[in-house]
Amino acid sequence: MYKIAVVEDDNTIRSELHLVLANHGYEVCDIVDFTNVVNQLKEIKPHIVLLDINLPGEDGLKICMKLRAFSDVPVIFVTSRDTDIDELQSLMMGGDDFITKPYNISILLTRIAVLLKRVYKDENQLVLEHKGITLNIETGRLIKDGLEAELTKSEMRILAYLFRHVGKIVPRADLIDHLWDNEMFVDDNTLSVNITRIRNKLEGIGVYHLIETKHRRGYYIDKD
Amino acid sequence: MSGYSYLKDKCIPNILQILGAVAVSSFMSMLGNSNDAITLLLVGWGFVLVLYYSFDYSCRKRYYNSLLESLKHLKQKYLIADVMEKSHRLEDVIYHRILHMGNKAMLEEISETIHECNDYIEYIEQWVHEVKTPLAAMKLICDNNRTPEAIKVLQELERANRCVEQVLFYARSKNVEKDYLIKEVNLDEVVKKSIQNNKQLLLEKKIQVKLECDQSVFTDGKWIVFILDQCIVNSAKYGATNIVFYSEVIGSKTNLIIEDDGIGILSEDLPRIFDKGFTGKNGHELQKSTGIGLYLCKKLCEKLDVLIDVKSQIGSYTKIILTFATGRLK
């Protein structure tokens, strides 16, 4: 499990970020005392750091610079300052990414995942599995007992989202919302068409009735 | 300055001279001088007088002409007191001093106003960044608890965020140079960014978007995203159900076109839609128009050297066309 350190002085944002990240399977360490952030980070040894720029005491840029003296941990700057100069400065101080408030959770999560994958060369994140069906996110391949099916990009995104929310009803609105965040601007009809195609492809590799439609509530994949 | 106006100005000394001449000549004739002697005196007197006046007139004329000339070439005309030719005439010296003092007071006033203005802009920018923190917090809370109410709040948040962005860009539009970075920008990326900024609005109004742009241009992406935001909001406001973004290359120019199928704009309103505060017939009917959005777009486009144009047919379509110069940088 990856450990994420959140360095953010706004209480609400910190606790909500904590919740989001914890819900997505990360271990979250909050920094609440801003007197010696660098040393605290040294002790926590996170896999990734979310760093605000405007902080009481030392600002994020300085912290990042000090952090770089002994660590190559990936740092994502999360800030309300949005000028190009800020972005440039943060990258020059050794930041790996830069996201401005009010950020999009999907985008934040995607960036975290991309960075983790790049730095820790982890392939686990690329393969989702459920009931013996494996879905490779990079190639869009669906495999079950040696049978294969190839998904289009949007089909892959939809199925991946459903796989990540197994056991929960996924409302159509949430699914569409998620797809828009990932640059797929689908409408209601297109989503239905895509779901039908996914079901056909699943049947092609011998999986029936995996995705249930809950009337007026959304889609559902059973836990077991 | 004409000869007539010069003489008119010298009216009182002239009358005094004539009175003096009359008095002297009658006094001389009383003393028994011959008419010849008096005539000689008057001619001599008149000669000296004419000589003096013509010399003085030409001097003055030269002085004022050079003054007017330098004023004409001066860009900041209020600096004339500092560059004007020095004159040793008492009147000129006094007027120069008065002009100088007046200008100085005005310059102080101006610099104070500029200072206040910059202070205000700085405050606005700071405020915008501050207000973004609670907005971000609210968005996170809603995203973490996706109830139907939260989705409605998300829509309102998106609106609040747009208003805040508009304030920021309005403040920045005064001195763009401060925050301006020209890079190669993929049109597809900026369009996607703008669509995501307005996700809740587009989903709520069930507007379908289509993207067909893959050109790159050299510009500042952030500003273009802001301009696109305004266009999307307008389309959504005025009844669009489809918005198509497409680009085309014409010679050394690249056009980005935002076309919607909304209610369109009256042809008589078209020339004025980029004016500040102009709302037109559509705006009056909807009562929700401020006339700021497109005005800002136009202003930012001017600073970015991007042409912005609009074409529309009532009841069928509205097209906003952004023209980027591609030149040989390809």
Please tell me the distance from the alpha carbon of residue A137 to that of residue A115, in angstroms, as a whole number: 16
Angle between helices B293-304 and B148-172 (to 10 degrees): 50
Return the amino acid letter for A48: I
Interface test with B, best of A24, A183, A188 (most B CBs within 10 A): A183
A139 and A210 within one domain: yes
Specify whether the CB–CB gap between B274 and B249 falls below 8 A: no
Higher pLDDT: B108 or A165? It is B108
pLDDT at B320 over 90: yes
A63 and A46 share one domain: yes
pLDDT at B232: 93
Does one domain contain both A113 and A204? no
End residue of a domain, out of A120, A152, A171: A120
pLDDT for B129 beyond 70: yes
Both tokens of A67, joined, read 């952090």
Find the mean pLDDT for residues A57-62. Answer: 85
Nearest residue in chain A measured CA to CA from B243? A185
Chain A: nearest CA to B260, how far in angstroms?
A: 16
Q: Are residues A167 and A113 in the same domain?
A: no
User: What's the domain range around A210?
Assistant: 125-221
Same-domain check for residues A50 and A87: yes
Closest residue, chain B, to A101 (C-alpha): B136
A16–B144: do the CB atoms touch at under 8 Å? yes
Probe site for chain B from A83, A176, A179 (most B CB atoms < 10 A): A83
**Residue pLDDT, tens place only, B183-211:** 888 999 999 999 988 988 998 888 989 99
The DSSP H or E segment spanning B28 is helix B11-30
Q: Which tokens go with B284?
A: 């009056």
Among B137, B202, B209, beta carbon nearest to A16: B137
B43-56 confidence digits (pLDDT tens): 998 999 999 999 99
Q: Please check the confidence at residue B174 and state whether its pLDDT lies above 70.
A: yes
Mark out chain B residues that contact chain A at CB-CB < 8 A: 129-130, 132-141, 143-144, 146, 151, 157, 161, 179-181, 192, 195-196, 199, 202-203, 206, 208-211, 220, 222
Percentage of chain A beyond pLDDT 90 is 4
The matching CATH number, chosen from 3.10.20.600, 3.30.565.10, 1.10.20.10, 3.10.129.10, for B185-325 is 3.30.565.10
| Share of residues in chain B with pLDDT > 70 (%) | 96
**pLDDT classification of B177: cutoffs 50, 70, 90:** low
Record: contact B133-A103, CB cut-off 8 A: no
SS3 call for A105: helix
Confidence of residue B286 (pLDDT cuts 50, 70, 90): low
Compute the distance between CA of residue A122 and CA of residue A112 in angstroms, rounded to an integer. Answer: 13
Whole-number pLDDT of residue B179: 67
**Cβ neighbours around A146 below 10 Å, total:** 6
Mutant choice from B133, B157, B243 vs A, greatest count of A C-beta within 10 A: B133
Instruction: Give every strand in the sheet of A3-7, ordered side by side.
Output: A27-31, A3-7, A48-51, A75-79, A97-100
**Is A79's pLDDT higher than 90?**
no
pLDDT in tens, A138-155: 788 888 888 888 888 888
Cα torsion through B190, B194, B196, B202, rounded to 10: -140
Q: Which of the pair, B102 or A85, is modelled with greater confidence?
A: B102
Residues of chain A contacting residue B180, judged by C-beta atoms under 8 Å apart: 84
> Residues of B with CB below 8 A from A81's CB?
129
Q: Is the pLDDT of residue B34 over 60?
A: yes
Contacts of A80 in chain B (CB under 8 A): 129-130, 132-133, 136
Give the residue from chain B lying closest to A10, CA to CA. B133
A130-144, A164-178, B140-154, B252-266: the lowest-pLDDT one: A130-144
Average pLDDT, chain B: 87
- C-alpha B175 chain-centroid distance: 11
User: What gap in Å lies between CA A103 and CA B132, rounded to an integer?
Assistant: 10
Distant-in-sequence contacts of B199-204, Cβ < 8 A, 24+ apart:
B199/A177, B199/A180, B199/A181, B199/B158, B200/B151, B200/B154, B200/B155, B200/B157, B200/B158, B201/B155, B201/B158, B201/B159, B201/B232, B201/B233, B201/B236, B202/A185, B202/B232, B202/B236, B202/B243, B203/A173, B203/A176, B203/A177, B203/A180, B204/B155
Q: Same domain, yes or no, for A195 and A94?
A: no
Nearest to B140 among A20, A174, A185 (CB): A20
Domain assignments of chain B as residue spans, ordered by start: 3-105, 115-172, 185-325
Residues of B in contact with A165 (CB under 8 A): none
| Cα dihedral B86, B91, B94, B100 sign | negative
Determine the distance in angstroms separating the CA of B106 from the nearest CA of chain A, rounded to an integer.
35
Closest-CA residue to B212 (of B177, B245, B261): B245
Of all residues in chain B, the one with the smallest CA distance to A187 is B208
pLDDT, position B172: 82
Q: What is the mean pLDDT of residues B172-181?
A: 71
Q: How far is A27 from chain B (nearest CA, A)?
A: 17
Name A165's Cβ contacts closer than 8 Å, sequence gap at least 6. A221
Domain boundary, last residue among A120, A139, A163? A120
Confidence of residue B330 (pLDDT cuts 50, 70, 90): very low
Flag whether pLDDT at B275 surpasses 70: yes
pLDDT of residue B43: 92
Residue B113 has pLDDT above 90, yes or no: yes
**Residue range A88-103: average pLDDT?**
85
Contacts of A20 in chain B (CB under 8 A): 140, 143-144
What is the overall mean pLDDT for chain A?
85
A102: nearest CB among B139, B203, B211 = B139
- Answer yes or no: is pLDDT of B321 > 90: yes
Strands B183-186 and B216-219 come out as antiparallel
pLDDT digits (tens, 9 = 90+) for B207-256: 989 998 888 888 888 889 999 999 999 899 888 899 999 999 888 889 99
**How many residues are recorded in chain B?**
330
Residues B63-108 pLDDT 10s = 889 888 888 888 888 888 888 888 888 888 999 899 999 989 998 9
Asked if B144 lies within 8 A of A174 by C-beta distance, the reply is no
3-state helix, strand, coil in chain A (%, to 5): 45, 20, 35
B285 vs A213, more confident: A213
pLDDT band of residue B181 (cuts 50, 70, 90) is confident
Q: What is the pLDDT of residue A147?
A: 83
Contact residues, chain A, for B137 at CB < 8 Å: 10, 12-13, 16
Out of A67, A97, A120, pick the residue that ends a domain.
Answer: A120
User: Residue A129's domain is classified under what CATH number?
Assistant: 1.10.10.10
Per-residue pLDDT at B58: 92
**CB–CB of B259/B319 below 8 Å?**
yes
Chain B's closest residue to A102, CA to CA, is B136
Listed in sequence order, the residues at least 6 apart from B94 whose beta carbon sits closer than 8 Å to its beta carbon are: none
> B239 exposed, middle or buried (CB, 10 Å; 0-12, 13-18, 19+)?
middle
Element (H, E) at B77: none
The total of structural domains in chain A comes to 2
Residue of chain B minimizing CA distance to A103: B136
Closest to A10 (Cα-Cα) out of B294, B130, B261, B15: B130
Q: Do B209 and A185 touch (CB under 8 A)?
A: yes
User: Are A110 and A182 contacting, i.e. CB atoms less than 8 angstroms apart?
Assistant: yes
pLDDT tens profile A36-50? 888 888 888 888 999
Give the chain A residue nearest B157 (alpha carbons): A102
**Residue A171 and residue B206: Cβ atoms within 8 Å?**
no
For the cut 80, the answer to whether the pLDDT of residue B180 exceeds it is no
CATH number assigned to the domain comprising residue A99: 3.40.50.2300
